[in-house]
Amino acid sequence: MNNSGKIVALAGGVGGAKLADGLVRYLKPGELSIIVNTADDFELFGLHISPDLDTVCYTLAGLSNPQSGWGRMDETWEVFNTLEELDAPHWFRLGDHDLHFI
């Protein structure tokens, strides 16, 4: 806790997202600041990808996939299935819902 009465949490990945979600549920609005890891950010097809930031945001918004803990619930993968068929790079899969907002 810092001297302003607020809590600062460091978060990255599924575990950090779950911690942040638990803290948000326990604390009053405005009491928590979350610093999210960006060390795993990268560029793919000209898009800036921030997987940990996405995971934390989707979790806090109640949109994360409950089976994997990452990505969005009810996600579809048509774009990256097509990329795979075309032998394009597909080692990191962005869901169709992710791409919809770009």
Question: What does the pLDDT profile of the chain (102 residues) look like in tens digits?
Answer: 545 668 999 999 999 999 999 999 999 999 999 999 999 999 988 989 999 999 999 999 999 998 888 899 999 999 999 999 999 987 888 899 988 765
Q: In which residue are the tokens 């607020």 written?
A: 6
The DSSP letter of residue 13 is H
Give the burial string for 65-83 (b: 16+ CB within 10 Å, else e): beeeebbbeeeebebbeeb
Question: What per-residue confidence (pLDDT) applies to 5?
Answer: 67
Q: Give CA angle at 51 (47, 52), nearest 5°.
A: 140
d(CA 6, CA 8): 7
Q: Where are the domains of the chain?
A: 7-75
